[in-house]
């Protein structure tokens, strides 16, 4: 869903193109992400108006 290309095998992968999507993962799932550090920094840097 989060990494890789959009695929018919993973229908939820299309959410990568939604401008307002938020994906919540537990620690075990997040550790498997190749760009985990990038995603953490992006979350820390988000504007206050975004909520979550």
Per-residue pLDDT of the chain (52 residues; tens, 9 = 90+): 889 999 999 999 999 999 888 888 898 998 899 999 998 898 899 888 887 7
Q: Cβ(15)–Cβ(26) under 8 Å?
A: no
pLDDT of residue 20: 87
In this structure, what are the phi and psi dihedrals at residue 7, rounded to the nearest 5 degrees? -145, 145
Q: Cβ(38)–Cβ(45) under 8 Å?
A: no
Report how many helices (DSSP H) and strands (DSSP E) the chain contains, helices first. 2, 0
Q: How far apart are CA 21 and CA 38, in angstroms?
A: 16
């Amino acid at each position: 869903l989060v990494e890789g290309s959009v695929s018919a095998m993973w229908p939820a992968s299309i959410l990568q193109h939604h401008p307002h999507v938020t994906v919540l993962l537990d620690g075990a799932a997040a550790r498997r992400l190749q760009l985990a550090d990038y995603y953490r920094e992006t979350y820390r840097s988000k504007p206050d108006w975004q909520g979550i």
